[in-house]
Amino acid sequence: MRWFRSLEFRRIFSLSILLCFLSFLVLGGRYAEATESLTVSAAMSLKNAFEDIGRVFEAKHRGVKVYFNFAGSGTLSRQIESGAPVDVFASASVRYMDNLERKGLIIKASRRNFAGNSIVLIVPSTSRLQVSSLLGLLNAGVRRIAIGNPGTVPAGEYAKEVLKHFELWGKLRDKLIFAGNVRQVLDYVARGEVDAGMVYASDAGTRPDDVKIAAEVPAESHSAVVYPAAVVKGTGSKALAGEFIDMVTSENGQKILKNDGFKPLGKERP
């Protein structure tokens, strides 16, 4: 009987130890969850690269979770003006960053130009249209051309500059389909819903099986495509936000951007 009780005691004791260990794992897991977060509003074209950079950042900052808000730079800029709780803003155009700086909504000293890009004309990979230059958009077979909305999407603004430079804006105006962001343009072309579109070279590279580059747009036909980033004024995570921008401009961050088709600029000041 004593032997039985001793065995039973050991079983109960072992079970108690196991339950304590499992409780520790559960509570430890909860404790290891993000205790601090960072909200980054970034141009849609940065989605792939920034998500990769975000994972690296989280790995180096245990307990920190990075949340991304991707959209057209103009839309993101207006959200910040309206008081959206954002820690870092990364734009595809210096114009929107300049606007926020004039209004005192970013920390000027934190601002950095970290990447560049180029504009390309794309068509569906299955397209048989003879479009090898911008002038090819005048062909009767090209009925729908997608570009970002020039009022809110920098890629659309650059596209408009290009078309005006080649005196095509008025001639093609009825063919143009405006999209809410540059990835939407990419989707339209990839699905064959339009005959052609203008996007960043980095975007075209994300779907090589669905779209093909018909022509590279001359850099002199539009404003330079420069991506600035800055810490948003009023953030409750100023130091952490600055560290995220440091990550973007670091050697590792610039390598990620380059691999995604961007032109690295390092820590260039505006």
In a domain, 5, yes or no: no
| Residue 87: domain span | 34-116+225-268
The residue among 197, 216, 235 that closes a domain is 216
pLDDT band at 46 (very low <50, low <70, confident <90, very high): very high
Q: How high is the pLDDT of residue 50?
A: 98
Question: 231-240 pLDDT, tens per residue?
Answer: 999 999 999 9
26 pLDDT higher than 50:
no
In a domain, 3, yes or no: no
Same domain, residue pair 237 and 103: yes
77 exposed, middle or buried (CB, 10 Å; 0-12, 13-18, 19+)? buried
| Coil vs helix vs strand at 267 | strand
C-alpha R_g of the chain: 25
* Whole-number Å distance between alpha carbons of 114 and 269: 9
Q: What are phi and psi of 264, to 5 degrees?
A: -60, 140
Same domain, residue pair 104 and 174: no
In a domain, 50, yes or no: yes
* Whole-number Å distance between alpha carbons of 59 and 64: 9
Same domain, residue pair 123 and 51: no
Return the CATH number at 195: 3.40.190.10
Same domain, residue pair 182 and 195: yes
Q: What are phi and psi of 213, to 5 degrees?
A: -80, 120
In a domain, 24, yes or no: no
Same domain, residue pair 128 and 99: no
How many domains does the chain contain in total?
A: 2
Q: How far apart are the first and last CA of the chain?
A: 84
Same domain, residue pair 191 and 153: yes
Question: 112-150 pLDDT, tens per residue?
Answer: 999 999 999 999 999 999 899 999 999 999 999 999 999
* Whole-number Å distance between alpha carbons of 143 and 58: 46
Same domain, residue pair 108 and 125: no
Alpha helices in 65-124 (DSSP H): 73-81, 94-102
8 Å CB contact between 134 and 217: yes
Same domain, residue pair 148 and 211: yes
List C-alpha distances in Å: 64 to 173, 201, 212: 47, 32, 39
Same domain, residue pair 193 and 66: no
pTM check: above 0.85: no
Same domain, residue pair 39 and 110: yes
Same domain, residue pair 200 and 229: no
